[in-house]
Structure 1
Amino acid sequence: MIQWIKKLLGLVRPERITKEKIEELPADKLCRKFIDGELASDTECEAFGEIMCAVELDAEVNNGGFNQYYYNSGGERAERARSTFIRLGENRVADVVKRANEQYAACRDELHSVWDGTMKGFARSYKKKYFDVFDSEYYALMKNEKQLYTLIGTYIKQHPQEFLTEKTE
């Protein structure tokens, strides 16, 4: 509990990501520590932003489907999320995201007219069932968050040079 409070107050510095850490941690734990900021490199990691696009999409879709994802994000990072799934080797998920993105583009104006900023408007948009098939496909492919964390952690293990700085190699 004390460690969590210190972290919240910014009194705990993240540990540097090293080859040793990448090798020793299980893939899902490596990912979790990386995205939680417990492991950090000396410089801004370009891959981090890409990975977070997929993590955000996954969290939103698992919480309320693609309808909620587009409502909350406007789809701004949806293409980057799709590219990240490709980068992680999950082409089937990338295809679901691609088709959901295309559906969103096709019905964006209608959705925005229903999404009037109220909970009632948001709830009404689910009745259109624009994304139900994509939600079902996504859930069938991505059974839980540990699966995504394992994909990301495995990617980190396979491409450590993207996460390490010259000083840590």
Structure 2
Amino acid sequence: MKKREKKAWEHDIENLVHSFLNRTIYEKLTEDILSSIPDVTLEQAVIDNIQAKISPDFSDEYDVVTKLSTGRQAVYATFYLECEVCNGGFSQFFYNSISVFAEDALYGFERIGAVKLSALMKQAIILYKENKREITEKEDETIEGYHKFYSDNPLNKLDDIFYLLIKEENLSTLRINYIRNNPNEFLD
């Protein structure tokens, strides 16, 4: 890469990071605000709105989220499941505390119309439950423990299928369409 191209690329990344860190976080969503948010930032705006209701240490995350509308639960659970699986696979999702939202993600996929992802999530939950003892006995909250947990984990075989399905079903678009078609589920 030429020096000039690298500088432009680094500048683009810096701008993206700056924009993200300085984005507007709506503690309350109204119909006017929701309709004014462009699709490209809509999911993040809804996630930020939900997180604004959660304590900074996330100790009340599950209680807060499960008291919200089913639409908000669907967006939150599927968004974070996607983040975790795309970062480290289903193994990472079930390893981390966000896994308490596994069933919520399953129903969330159904709710927004991601039929194939819902079926895959059901398969992941069953596989995890069937192998939970063997999988979790490797956990010890160390890097080595995580690597043991991750290696030869039966959930790993579902990762590539997930990556294909989020594109095939256009997961982000499904969430955006759900929010646009059901705005009352996202208003404060």
TM-score, structure 1 normalization: 0.76
Between the two proteins, what is the percent identity of the paired residues?
A: 29
Matched positions, count: 154
Cross-structure match for 1:27: 39
1:8-39 CA-to-partner distances (Å, cap 9, x unmatched) read xxxx772753434444544342222221239x
In structure 1, what is the Cα distance between the partners aligned to 2:130 and 2:163? 23
Structure 1 residue runs of 5 or longer lacking an equivalent are none
- Paired residues of 2:127 and 2:154 also in contact (CA < 8 A): yes
Cross-structure match for 1:87: 111
- Which of these residues, 147, 151, 164, is aligned with residue 174 of structure 2? 151
- Paired residues of 1:32 and 1:149 also in contact (CA < 8 A): no
- Give 1:117 deviation, angstroms: 2.0
Letter in 2 for 1:108: K
Letter in 1 for 2:180: K
In structure 2, what is the Cα distance between the partners aligned to 1:103 and 1:134? 10
In structure 2, what is the Cα distance between the partners aligned to 1:29 and 1:67? 28
Higher relative contact order (CA 8 A, sep 6+): 1
- Spell out the pairing of 1:107-126 with structure 2 (5 A cutoff): 107-126=131-150
1:132-151 CA-to-partner distances (Å, cap 9, x unmatched) read 2211110001149xx44322
In structure 1, what is the Cα distance between the partners aligned to 2:41 and 2:19? 21
Secondary structure of the corresponding residue to residue 187 of structure 2: coil
- Paired residues of 2:46 and 2:186 also in contact (CA < 8 A): no
- Summarize the Cα distance change of 1:125–1:27 in structure 2 as closer, same or farther, 3 Å threshold: same
Structure 1 or 2: more helix by fraction: 2
- Summarize the Cα distance change of 1:84–1:13 in structure 2 as closer, same or farther, 3 Å threshold: closer
In structure 2, what is the Cα distance between the partners aligned to 1:117 and 1:67? 14
In structure 2, what is the Cα distance between the partners aligned to 1:164 and 1:70? 30
- Summarize the Cα distance change of 1:74–1:111 in structure 2 as closer, same or farther, 3 Å threshold: farther
TM-score, structure 2 normalization: 0.69
Letter in 2 for 1:134: L
Deviates more, 1:53-62 or 1:123-132: 123-132
RMSD (CA atoms): 3.0
Letter in 1 for 2:123: R
Deviates more, 1:91-100 or 1:155-164: 155-164
1:101-121 CA-to-partner distances (Å, cap 9, x unmatched) read 000000101111111222112
- Which of these residues, 31, 35, 48, is aligned with residue 36 of structure 1? 48
In structure 2, what is the Cα distance between the partners aligned to 1:49 and 1:152? 11
Structure 2 residue runs of 5 or longer lacking an equivalent are 1-17, 53-66
- Paired residues of 1:28 and 1:152 also in contact (CA < 8 A): no
